[in-house]
Amino acid sequence: MSDTTLVLWDIGRTLLYVGNIDRQVYREVFRKLLGRFPKKLPERGTGMTMPLAIRYLLLDNGVPAEEVPQVVAEMVDLLPAQLSHHVPEILRSGTPLPGAIEALRSAQAAPNLVPTVVTGNHKANAVIKLRTFALDTYLDMEIGGFASDNQHWPTLVGIAQRRADIPTTPMSRLASQSRLTASARARRQKQRPRAKQARRRA
C-alpha cells in the first residue's frame, strides 16, 4: 500500500458550515448541568478541540477549576443528543461548502486514496453533522482522528494513520476552505472552454 494516500479532511468550515449551532448547543447543555446560561461563549475559529473549548467555557464562566474535569465529561456525554435535536435547524441554516461534495466524490472514486476526517469534534458529533448532509457516505468514518480520541490536535493525524494501517503513507490533509474553493474554481475554468466549443459545434 505504499502508493496509497490517506486524505484527511477537517469538517467545520472545510466540508460544511453549521452556523451557530455548536455555540447554541454549548449554551443549552451548560444550562442543563449548571442551571444558568453562560455569559461568555468560546470564540469562533480558534481551532480548539471540543474538550478544550468546553474547558475554557467552564473556566470563563466561573466553574471552579477542581470541578471542571467532571463537568467537561458530563457535557461531552450530553452534546450528541442535544445536537441531534438541532438537525432540522442545521439543514435550514447550514450547508456543504463550495467544492466540498465534488472533492469528496473525486477522492472516494480514486483507487489510491483513502478519505477520512481529522476533526476537533467528538466522533458522535462529527457523524451527526456529516450525516445531516449525507457527506459521511464519501468517508471512512471507522478510521480518522477525533477529539474523543485525544484533545490535542497534533496527535489526531497519527491516530488516523495508525487506524488506516498505513503509517508511512504519503498524506494530503485538506484543512482549509480556501483550497476547496480554489479547486472548484479551477474545475469551472476548465469546463468553460469545453462549453464554448460545444456551443460552436452546435
pLDDT score for 44: 78
Q: Residue ranges of the chain with pLDDT lower than 70? A: 1-2, 45, 167-202
Residue 115 to residue 6: CA distance in whole angstroms = 6
Give ∠ CA 89-104-6 in degrees, rounded to 5.
Answer: 120
Residue 117, φ and ψ in degrees, nearest 5: -125, 150
Give the pLDDT confidence of 98-156 residue by residue, as tens digits: 999 999 999 999 998 889 999 999 999 999 999 999 999 999 999 999 999 999 988 89
pLDDT score for 1: 47
pLDDT score for 183: 45
Q: Where are the alpha helices (DSSP H) in 85-122?
A: 87-93, 100-109
